[in-house]
Structure 1
Amino acid sequence: MHFFQNLNIQSRLLLFVIGPVFALSCTLLLFDFKAQLQREEDKLGQHALTTAKFLSAVVHDQSALHDRPYIERLLKASQLEREPYLSLMIANAEQHPLARLGASFAVSDTLPQQDTMVMQQATHDVTMVRVFTTEPKHALLGFVFVAIDKAALIEDHRQAFIRNVGYITLALMICAILVYWVSRSISQPIREMTSALKRFVVGEQPVGQVRNSLPEIKSLQTTINEISREMQHVEADMRHRIQDAQAQLRYQARHDALTGLVNRQELERRLQQALEDVKQHRANHVFCYMDLDQFRVINDTCGHLAGDEMLRQISMILSQRIRAEDTFARLGGDEFGLLLSYCQVEKAIEIAAQLRQMVEAFRFMHEDRLFQTGISIGVVEITPDLKDVGQITRHADAACYVAKDNGRNQIHLFHSEDDVLLKRHVEMEWVSRINEAIEHNDFVLYCQGIFPLQQKDLPPFYEILIRKRDEHGGIIPPAEFLPSAERYHLMTKIDRWVIQHAFMALQPLFKAQPASAQPFIVSINLSGMSLGDASLLPYIKNCFTTYQIPPGHVCFEVTETSAIINIDNTIKLINELKQMGVRFMLDDFGSGMSSFSYLKHLPVDFLKMDGAYVRDITSSKVDLAMAKAIQSVAQSMEIKTIAEYVEDQATLDCLKEMGVAYAQGFYLNKPMPLNDVLSRHGAASQQQSANISQTTIETDISA
């Protein structure tokens, strides 16, 4: 079957037309040969018998038998010479030949007794007839033998058979030539069309018209040509589409989808080219790293769509100032990069200043609300001593960070000896140290008391503060590592570590003391990043269940800015946990985008004034007025106020006179290890002391 499938049209026609015809013809010829041979033998046998009987009948006596001339005339009268395959012999009674006609043949010495019979021999069939006298009756005179030469007969018929086979073969060869011509008239156009289609597929040439007179082939050619022409149109259209798609993919691979600016990957590629140009040809190139100031406030308060629209508008505005040879890219979020090609540093600072002024003058309108922002720009000159693109971007990022530290909306040129940048480098190193501290529990919890100013019977407050142990066992304050944690998005991990370990520290206290033990409140600070984490609420609920801490003893503290930025998540978190009995405190109220309208949407129990107002409350009328305004609003909303950074008695007396509920500061007490404070509180609870100084403990992660 596999052999047949590999045959072409010509081979199949020759195999299945000529082959069977040839075999059938030879078979029929063979059967005809045998039939003719048998008929010839039968005919000759009958003629031989007739001749033998005729001769036996005309010989009547001994004299006639020995009359040779007479016998020869009888033989000639038999006309056997016309039969090339018959031989005749007359013999006497002793079987001695008297006369012979034709080829000689042998006769057996022992003859049967029958008067007439046919004897079969290898090469001859011999017909024997006995000759008798009439008087005396039936006296044996001799024998008449007529033999058929079978070998000669067969040989002659075999030669005729071979000739016939040759004629058939010749006829079939002529037929094969005709079949080949007919099949070629079919297969050759198909092969030509196939070859043309292959050339068309590889794009060498279009499919042409193949010469052929068969209507079916012409119809097939017409159809294929129509298909090929349509394929040419489709191919051309597809080629244009592929080219457009490739161009679009190349564009998308190199540009930002939101703003249409060059993306980070393409900028880094061009930075690499610029660095090579600087090293090989001493060219002047400058890179600027730009970060919008407080963009997240707009993005989170107005929504991501508004933030995206603002980014698009700023990108369009800044692109107007970019030179044709420069590369302006969006690096992600609100960060942009600008490669100034063949530009001196002084000119780069001038261009950066123009860009900063353009952003500063920009006003973004959204839903009848007007927003203004700034931009911090870090500038770095690309020099031959820079190792790679990563070092360029790190220096520019560090310079931008310095610009933000200097008050935002600033431009800072990178200097290798800049002390502030060394601080930035240290902050970057803190990332791995913070992760290791979380993994190996190298953080420790401290606490600081918050004292009641109006009612001495209020429950004690404990404020939890986080510290870190160094490799020598010393204590590192939070100001050393929290800025890095905030910048590199590690605050969520730290918040969860504090919650878990604070609950672990509280658990023995609740297991040891009776239900009537002295009440107290612990406050745990939550960062803005944690407030935006949807999984924080189930985590807190799970901690309450795991450590069996009564919710009424826990207060969570959130800053004003982080609460407003994550207003929806914050309100949901407060409502869910307040249903369990948890309390909430709003920290640093008045330090950021303070708006009393937000306060009525936040169902907090405590309001902590920003320390900037409290610290100078006795010397600044403005700070005093602000503090009184906050106290008045909180009092009208039945929210207890807490004043932090109390550092002298005069400040404490002023707060008491204003009606502030709690005070906190180094003047009242300093932070202590949490376990020590809880141990003292546990001992005091067992003694049921009535005069316990009320202290507040709160997780001030920013302290």
Structure 2
Amino acid sequence: MPDLSQYTILAVDDDSINLRVIGQQLQTLKPRLLVATDGQLALDIIAREKPDLILLDIKMPGLSGIEVCRQIKADSQYAHIPVLFLTSSEQDTAKAFDVGGVDYIIKPVDSDALQARVTTHLKLASTLKALDETNALLSSANERLEKKVEERTRELVNTNASLRREINERRSLQDKLSFLSHHDFVTRMYNRFALEEKLTESMANTEEITDARFVCLIDLDQFKIVNDTCGYLAGDELLRQMAEVLRGQLDTDDIAARIGGDEFAVYFHQPDMGFAISKVRAIKSALENFEFTWMDERFKHNVSMGLVEIDQSIDSVSHLISVAERTCYQSKLKGGGEISVYNVTRTHVDKTQQQMRLVPIIRQAIEEGRLQLHVQGIYLNDGETLVKAEVLARLIDTAGRLQPPSYFIPVAEKFNIIDAIDRYMIEKSVVALSATGSGIQLSVNVSGAFINKEDAASFIKETLSQCQVDPSLLCLEITESSAISNLETTTQFINELSGFGCQFALDDFGTGTSSYEYLKVLAIDTVKIDGMFVRDVETDLVNRRMIESIAGIASAKGIKVVAECVESKAAVSLLKQLNIDYLQGFALHHPEPLNDFLANNQKTDATC
């Protein structure tokens, strides 16, 4: 175990527990450990103590770790101090390296990884310091040698020989420093900075290149399994060995780099896309056939790859890397182990980028209350008696336009913000119920993502209790696909809230492969027949028989039936004959704002 007692380490984290854990993990190395719980305190300690190494949390109140590192690197007194970032997500690592971080450690911190990386970077920092001191000494020696040449011409030959030796040593040291600044410490490949330099140079010299140019981004699938089961030293060794396999597949003019945790990139020339795809397939085969052994464990990894041809649509290196990362992400979405080609999947990749731009707009709309609740009435089968209403979401965009659910709901589901929309809709619906005495039940759609949250049921119960709303006035609509995704959790969710008094509807019924099974398993009050069976019920005999079948089985279970998408008076008449309990659709009511819908039944003493 190395002895680091001569070094001072500053650990910065707003969580005192994390600081205590880091102190315990470094105790055996015996460094002098300083701690800070916020960014400003850390800067004060650095100015006073000048530590040899800094462990810096990325996300902190006040000054973030990124900003603290930027200020450290901006000051020549402290710029040499190595900064290792602490983070719970690899999504922030690109910014960490951009501001001068030399490495990162994933929280919760692994003791072996922490000790190994702290020791390595302290030694590297010491080496760099020694190199700086050596350079200073060499500079001084050069001056002394020049004076000796003038004073002692008789010793000219010996002095020149000594000077050559020292110059060569200096050049050697400079070469080592240049290597370290352009290469990844683990794999000895080019790093992201060096790759971007090479790409910038290549993209500027288009006239000298006749072949097509390509960048392939490579991501190791499930790399985290090795780190979690065998430790970070094993993970680093896997990366080193994978880098050697990759090198074996490259031509002389190819440029390969490690650009992130488990991400590699290759820049190469080929006559056309067909040759490029063949080359990438060969690389993929070699990497996936490689078996990594650590102790008694054996691992094989699939790789996800994104291939991009550099053409006129690529306007910069940063744009190129971004496109390659998004293209590789398409392979991940397919389950991994795939090759996605940008000129083939470009429309899908660009669509994903457009969708990503909507994410902050949706979040801002939620925060600013620009999600508007509309409702569509649900009637008895006479088509006239209003008894329920389904709550529908609309988004007012930054230009003040009202956008339908198709504009933002799929994006919210894809990027995991649908839970926030569900909570917003439930809360606003309950508030509206608290302010009306109409007795009309509101049906609110909830997603599988919301149902899977541990606090989902308690959130609904607390909201109803705070607003003093009868739980039976709230019906929660669950789609068949949501129920299938986690049937056990859905069953627990329904049972808990049914006991509290809420009602449940199974939406889009009839589209699944085992629809009728859910009528046995789930304690629901209503099924909503999917609109695909209702829209042409007047003319399609098969759909009519399907509706009769659903209604008959539901009736046997004591479950009410709602027919959605009722769009004609003829459909109303026919569905009435089929004894469907409730009807919903444009033939009966067009969606309108919730407040307008309840305007004639508002209370003056709202309770929430």
When normalised by structure 2's length, the TM-score is 0.51
C-alpha deviations, 1:550-583, integer Å up to 9, x for none? 0111101111111221222211111111112110
Q: CA deviation at 1:662?
A: 2.1
Alignment of 1:525-536 (within 5 A): 525-536=445-456
In structure 1, distance between residues paired with 2:248 and 2:540: 54
Distance 1:547 1:352, change over 3 A: farther
2:356 aligned partner: 428
Amino acid at match of 1:605: D
In structure 2, distance between residues paired with 1:652 and 1:403: 47
Distance 1:443 1:579, change over 3 A: same
Kept in 1: contact 2:189–2:257 (CA 8 A) = no
Alignment of 1:21-40 (within 5 A): none
1:116 aligned partner: none
1:64 aligned partner: none
Alignment of 1:134-145 (within 5 A): none
Distance 1:670 1:349, change over 3 A: farther
Kept in 1: contact 2:566–2:572 (CA 8 A) = yes
1:442 aligned partner: 370
Kept in 2: contact 1:402–1:420 (CA 8 A) = no
The secondary structure found in structure 2 opposite 1:579 is helix
In structure 2, distance between residues paired with 1:619 and 1:409: 47
2:392 aligned partner: 465
The secondary structure found in structure 2 opposite 1:585 is strand
In structure 1, distance between residues paired with 2:258 and 2:376: 48
1:503 aligned partner: 430
2:497 is equivalent to residue 582 of structure 1:
no
Amino acid at match of 2:412: A
2:142 aligned partner: none
Q: Which runs of 5+ in 1 are unaligned?
A: 1-241, 251-264, 296-304, 306-318, 358-374, 511-517, 684-703
- Larger deviation: 660-669 or 383-392? 383-392
2:318 is equivalent to residue 392 of structure 1:
no
C-alpha deviations, 1:77-107, integer Å up to 9, x for none? xxxxxxxxxxxxxxxxxxxxxxxxxxxxxxx
2:564 aligned partner: 644
- From 224, 249, 267, give the equivalent of 1:325: 249
1:569 aligned partner: 489
In structure 2, distance between residues paired with 1:289 and 1:620: 51
Q: CA deviation at 1:531?
A: 0.8
Distance 1:269 1:328, change over 3 A: closer
C-alpha deviations, 1:116-155, integer Å up to 9, x for none? xxxxxxxxxxxxxxxxxxxxxxxxxxxxxxxxxxxxxxxx
In structure 2, distance between residues paired with 1:492 and 1:553: 22
2:488 is equivalent to residue 488 of structure 1:
no
Kept in 2: contact 1:560–1:594 (CA 8 A) = no
2:476 is equivalent to residue 556 of structure 1:
yes
- What is the identity percentage for the equivalent residue pairs of Structure 1 and Structure 2? 29
Alignment of 1:534-549 (within 5 A): 534-549=454-469
Kept in 2: contact 1:531–1:563 (CA 8 A) = no
Alignment of 1:113-512 (within 5 A): 274-281=195-202, 284-287=213-216, 325=249, 339=265, 342=268, 344=270, 345-349=273-277, 379-381=307-309, 385=314, 387-388=316-317, 392-394=321-323, 396-397=325-326, 413-414=341-342, 421-453=349-381, 460-510=387-437
The secondary structure found in structure 2 opposite 1:522 is strand
Amino acid at match of 1:491: I
Q: CA deviation at 1:487?
A: 1.8
Q: CA deviation at 1:540?
A: 0.9
Amino acid at match of 2:321: I
Amino acid at match of 2:367: E
Amino acid at match of 1:433: I
Kept in 2: contact 1:378–1:403 (CA 8 A) = no
In structure 2, distance between residues paired with 1:409 and 1:592: 29
In structure 1, distance between residues paired with 2:543 and 2:324: 40
Distance 1:582 1:409, change over 3 A: farther
In structure 1, distance between residues paired with 2:452 and 2:305: 28
In structure 2, distance between residues paired with 1:476 and 1:649: 29
In structure 2, distance between residues paired with 1:447 and 1:267: 61
C-alpha deviations, 1:329-358, integer Å up to 9, x for none? 9999xxx9785663643345468899999x
The secondary structure found in structure 2 opposite 1:509 is coil
1:86 aligned partner: none
The secondary structure found in structure 2 opposite 1:600 is helix
Amino acid at match of 1:578: S
Kept in 2: contact 1:532–1:569 (CA 8 A) = yes
The secondary structure found in structure 2 opposite 1:434 is helix
In structure 1, distance between residues paired with 2:545 and 2:247: 51
Alignment of 1:89-104 (within 5 A): none
Distance 1:582 1:476, change over 3 A: same
In structure 1, distance between residues paired with 2:383 and 2:447: 30
- From 531, 535, 556, give the equivalent of 1:615: 535
In structure 1, distance between residues paired with 2:258 and 2:511: 34
2:439 aligned partner: 519
Bigger RCO of structures 1 and 2 (CA < 8 A, at least 6 apart):
1
In structure 2, distance between residues paired with 1:532 and 1:485: 16
In structure 2, distance between residues paired with 1:409 and 1:462: 46
- From 565, 569, 586, give the equivalent of 1:666: 586
Kept in 2: contact 1:613–1:626 (CA 8 A) = yes
Q: CA deviation at 1:451?
A: 2.2
In structure 2, distance between residues paired with 1:601 and 1:652: 31
Kept in 2: contact 1:611–1:643 (CA 8 A) = yes
The secondary structure found in structure 1 opposite 2:367 is helix
In structure 2, distance between residues paired with 1:329 and 1:601: 51
C-alpha deviations, 1:490-510, integer Å up to 9, x for none? 111111111111112221214
The secondary structure found in structure 1 opposite 2:500 is coil
Kept in 2: contact 1:604–1:639 (CA 8 A) = yes
Kept in 2: contact 1:279–1:383 (CA 8 A) = no
In structure 2, distance between residues paired with 1:609 and 1:376: 40
Residue correspondences, number: 380
Distance 1:456 1:670, change over 3 A: closer
Distance 1:354 1:444, change over 3 A: farther
Q: CA deviation at 1:482?
A: 1.6
In structure 2, distance between residues paired with 1:267 and 1:676: 67
In structure 1, distance between residues paired with 2:187 and 2:494: 45
Kept in 1: contact 2:377–2:390 (CA 8 A) = yes
Kept in 2: contact 1:613–1:624 (CA 8 A) = yes
In structure 2, distance between residues paired with 1:667 and 1:277: 64
The secondary structure found in structure 2 opposite 1:607 is strand
Distance 1:417 1:551, change over 3 A: closer
Q: CA deviation at 1:641?
A: 2.0
1:200 aligned partner: none
Q: CA deviation at 1:607?
A: 1.1
Amino acid at match of 2:439: P
The secondary structure found in structure 2 opposite 1:486 is helix
The secondary structure found in structure 2 opposite 1:450 is strand
